[in-house]
């Protein structure tokens, strides 16, 4: 029997996020390899640690709103990851707590929550699309979510496609931030690990939302 693909309850959102976070853990070594070419080589390990902390927090938590699920995710990432990536990913998700409360998640609600997260990020970093950062996957994903309309599964499919294409395009960009910016032309050919992490997350949301709607 099919459930409604247009909206998910807080319990279903908790399940969705738990399944999606496992993608970061699975891709840890791949993300480390990307970061090894551009930075310290630990992005995959760092984000996998944040994902595991968030899984632990979500499994033991009880949530009455969608916002609380994403807020718990953000807080766990901030406290467990450290560094710039932990702060940025954590702030993005934790900002859901500052948005109007939602007792169901549909395409419009997710877009609003993530747009609020992007506003929070924009106050903490000067990064722009084209700078070879997580923004190169995040901005096109959020644009697709905003413009998609329709049901949640279809909107996430479009966002995942946009995030993946955005991450792939970073391979030919020159980095403007962090240790990678000192590499100059040597940074070409390797996708940004932060942008790749965003693409992995949105792809996981799309795949797992579809399975929840079956």
Q: For residues 144 and 158, what is the distance between their CA atoms, to the nearest angstrom?
A: 6
What is the residue extent of each domain of the chain?
A: 10-212
* pLDDT tens per residue, range 132-171: 999 999 999 999 999 987 899 999 999 999 999 999 999 9
Query: So what's the pLDDT on residue 179?
Result: 61
Q: For residues 132 and 139, what is the distance between their CA atoms, to the nearest angstrom?
A: 12
Give one DSSP letter per residue of the chain, joined into a string: ----TT-B-HHHHHHHHHHHHHHHHHTHHHHHHHHHHHSSS-HHHHHHHHHHHHHHHHHH---SSHHHHHHHHHHHHHHHH-HHHHHHHHHHHHGGGGSPP-SSB-HHHHHHHHHHHHHHHHTT----TTSSSTHHHHHHHHHHHHHH-S-HHHHHHHHHHHHHHHHHHGGGSPP-SSGGGGGGGGGTTS--HHHHHHHHHHHHHHHHHHHHT-
Query: So what's the pLDDT on residue 124?
Result: 87
Residues of the chain with pLDDT under 50: 1-4
Query: So what's the pLDDT on residue 37?
Result: 85
Homologous superfamily in CATH for domain 10-212: DhaL domain (1.25.40.340)
């Amino acid at each position: 029997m099919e459930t409604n693909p247009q909206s998910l309850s807080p319990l279903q959102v908790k399940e969705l996020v738990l399944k999606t976070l496992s993608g970061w853990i699975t891709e840890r070594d791949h993300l480390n390899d990307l970061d090894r070419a551009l930075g310290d080589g630990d992005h995959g390990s760092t984000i996998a640690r944040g994902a595991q902390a968030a899984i632990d927090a979500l499994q033991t938590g009880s949530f009455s709103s969608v916002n609380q699920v994403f807020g718990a995710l953000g807080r766990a990432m901030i406290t467990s990851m450290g560094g710039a990536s932990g702060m940025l990913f954590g702030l993005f998700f934790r900002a859901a707590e500052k948005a109007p409360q939602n007792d169901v998640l549909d395409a419009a609600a997710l877009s609003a929550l993530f747009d609020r997260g992007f506003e929070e990020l924009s106050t903490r970093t000067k990064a722009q699309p084209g700078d070879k950062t997580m923004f190169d996957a995040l901005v096109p994903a959020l644009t697709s979510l905003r413009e998609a309309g329709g049901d949640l599964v279809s909107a996430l499919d479009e966002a995942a496609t946009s995030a993946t294409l955005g991450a792939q395009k970073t391979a030919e960009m020159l980095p403007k931030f962090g240790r990678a910016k000192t590499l100059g032309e040597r940074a070409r050919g390797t996708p940004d690990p932060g942008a790749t992490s965003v693409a992995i997350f949105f792809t996981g949301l799309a795949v797992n939302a579809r399975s929840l709607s079956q």
